[in-house]
């Protein structure tokens, strides 16, 4: 095993060699800033309806125009960043934690492994979109509910990843040595397993984050997502799609924001993978 210091510097070198990390990070930071500062950026109440100003074209007063209920799209898109990012980050974090926990248990305790993995196999064999829709039907549509549904959908995939990492690491000579030297399981986990499973996990988490933001939009499209009153990019697109031929910007503006964010997260994930994976050759 390499000493931590040289690893870090190697990672930094990789990072310099890979401009995708700063690019992705910058775009993401801008989006987070937009989300946090939405009230300061000349927005109005994103849920305030006024039918008299229904479906206005973009203008100085309404930068992105208004939607079918007369709500200001500029405000909705900016506030929408909050929902989409919240969904993306929360799902990534919660499913990583859940998957890490289950994966470690499954990787170390044979008896539990069988049960956990059968359940995970079962969950994974239900197409994720359908499982998410079914979960959304469970309680009232809310942002929290979307997060829970998508987390449940992603956990089996993370669990599998962590478990397979654990299993392969356990075969490594230095881990075997530590086990035979009588190191306790928690110690082995903290000392050897965690540091080494972290990099694939982080990479996986960025993809989950990106996928969750897109899935949130798709759930809204089907009518089983965030309640339509909440401004999320998915909702704005789903509600504007009927008029897509006439007022393409209602769909394309939030789509552009969503794509930019997802893109940023994805290339950040790629960059991290390249930088963190020592075997990586590109």
Partner 1 sequence: MLAYILKRILATIPVMLVVALTVFSLLFLAPGDPATMIAGDQASAADVERIRQSLGLDQPFLVQFGTWLWQLVHFDLGNSVFTGQPVTKLMAERVGPTVSVMLLTLLLSICTAIPLGVVAAWKSGSWIDRAIMSVSVVGFSVPLFVVGYILAWVFALKLQWLPPQGYTPLSEGVWPWLQRLILPAITLGFVYIVLIARITRASMLEVLQQDYVRTARAKGLGPRKVLFLHALKNGAVPVITVIGIGFAALIGGTVVTETVFTIPGMGRLTVDAILRRDYPVIQGLVLVFSFVYVLVNLAVDLIYSLVDPRIRY
Partner 2 sequence: MDRRRFMKAGAAAALAGISAPALSQQSRQKVLRFVPYTDLTIFDPMWSTVDITRDYGYMIYDTLFGLDASFQPQPQLAEGLLWGDDGRSCTITLRAGITFHDGVPIRARDCVASLKRWSQVAPMGATLFALTDELVAVDDRTLRFRLKRPFPILPAVLGQLSAPVPLIMPERVAQTDVKTQITDRTGSGPFKFKADEFQLGNLAVFEKFQGYRPTPNTARGLTAGPKMVHFERVEWRRIPDAATAAAALQTGDVDWIGGPTSETVELLAGFKDIDLPRLEDIPSMAMMRINALHAPFNNKKIRQALLPAIDQAEFCMSVAGTNPQNFATGSGFFPPGTALASDAGLEALKGPRSIEKARQLLKEAGYANERVRLLGAADSPASTTPLAQVAADMLGRLGLNLDIALLDNASVAQRRRSEEPVDKGGWSLSCWLFPGSWFVDPGTNIMLRGNGRNAWFGWPTIPKLEELRDAWLNASSVHDRKRIAQDMQVVAMDELPAIPLGAVYRQTALKKDLVDRVPTATVFWNIRRG
Residue 30, φ and ψ in degrees, nearest 5: -60, -45
Binds 193, which of partner 2, partner 1, none (CB < 5 to 8 A, cut-off by type)?
none
How many residues contact partner 1, by CB under 8 A? Answer: 47
* DSSP-assigned letters across all residues of 139-197: S---HHHHHHHHHHHHHHHHHHHHHHHHHHHHTSHHHHHHHHTT--HHHHIIIIIHHHH
CA separation for the pair 252, 244 (Å, rounded): 9
DSSP letter assigned to residue 277: -
Of 12-41, binders to partner 1 (CB under 8 A) are none
Cβ atoms 266, 256 nearer than 8 A: no
DSSP 129: H
Q: What is the DSSP letter of 56?
A: P
Select the residue interacting with partner 1 from 35, 102, 175, 210 (CB under 8 A).
Answer: 210
Region from 104-112, 149-157, 164-172, 244-252 binding partner 2, contact rule CB under 8 A: 244-252
The option from partner 1, partner 2, none interacting with 141 (CB < 5 to 8 A, set by class) reads partner 2
Q: How many angstroms separate the Cα of 94 from the Cα of each of 27, 46, 150, 225?
A: 23, 28, 10, 19
Nearer to partner 2, 116 or 224 (CB): 224
Q: Does 124 bind partner 1 (CB under 8 A)?
A: yes
d(C-alpha 270, C-alpha 256), whole Å = 21
| Residue position matching structure tokens 């919660």 | 94
Nearer to partner 2, 188 or 224 (CB): 224
Q: Would you count residue 218 as binding partner 2 (CB under 8 A)?
A: no
Choice from 72, 154, 239, 274 touching partner 2 (CB under 8 A): 239
Question: Which residue in the set 121, 186, 187, 195 belongs to the binding site for partner 1 (CB under 8 A)?
Answer: 121
Based on the shown chain and the rule CB under 8 A, indicate whether residue 112 belongs to the binding site for partner 1. no
For partner 1, the binding residues (CB under 8 A) are: 118-119, 121-130, 133-135, 137-139, 210, 214, 217-218, 221-224, 234, 237-238, 241, 244-245, 251-252, 255, 258-263, 266-267, 270, 279, 281-282
For partner 2, the binding residues (CB under 8 A) are: 47-52, 54-55, 68-69, 136-137, 140-141, 223-224, 227-229, 239, 241-246
């Amino acid at each position: 095993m390499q000493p931590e210091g040289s690893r870090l510097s190697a990672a930094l070198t990789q990072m310099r060699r890979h401009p995708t990390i700063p690019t992705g990070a910058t775009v993401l930071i801008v989006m987070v800033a937009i989300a946090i500062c939405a009230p300061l950026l000349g927005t109005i109440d994103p849920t305030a309806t006024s039918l008299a100003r229904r479906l206005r074209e973009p203008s100085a007063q309404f930068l992105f125009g208004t939607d079918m209920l007369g709500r200001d799209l500029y405000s909705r898109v900016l506030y929408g960043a909050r929902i989409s990012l919240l969904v993306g980050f929360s799902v990534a974090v919660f499913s990583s934690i859940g998957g890490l926990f289950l994966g470690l248990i499954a990787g170390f305790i044979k008896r539990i492994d069988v049960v956990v993995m059968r359940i995970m196999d079962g969950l994974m064999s239900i197409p994720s979109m359908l499982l998410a829709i079914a979960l959304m039907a469970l309680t009232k549509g809310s942002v929290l509910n979307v997060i829970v549904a998508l987390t449940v959908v992603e956990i089996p995939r993370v669990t599998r990843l962590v478990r397979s990492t654990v299993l392969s690491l356990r075969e490594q000579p230095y881990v075997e040595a530590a086990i035979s030297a009588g190191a306790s399981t928690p110690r082995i986990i903290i000392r050897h397993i965690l540091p080494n499973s972290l990099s694939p996990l982080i990479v996986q988490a960025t993809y989950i984050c990106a996928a969750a933001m897109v899935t949130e939009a798709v759930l809204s499209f089907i009518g089983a997502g965030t309640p339509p009153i909440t401004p999320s990019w998915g909702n704005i697109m789903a509600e504007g799609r009927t008029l897509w031929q006439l007022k393409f910007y209602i769909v394309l503006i939030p789509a552009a924001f969503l794509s930019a964010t997802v893109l940023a997260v994805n290339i950040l994930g790629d960059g991290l993978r390249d930088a963190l994976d020592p075997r990586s050759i590109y």
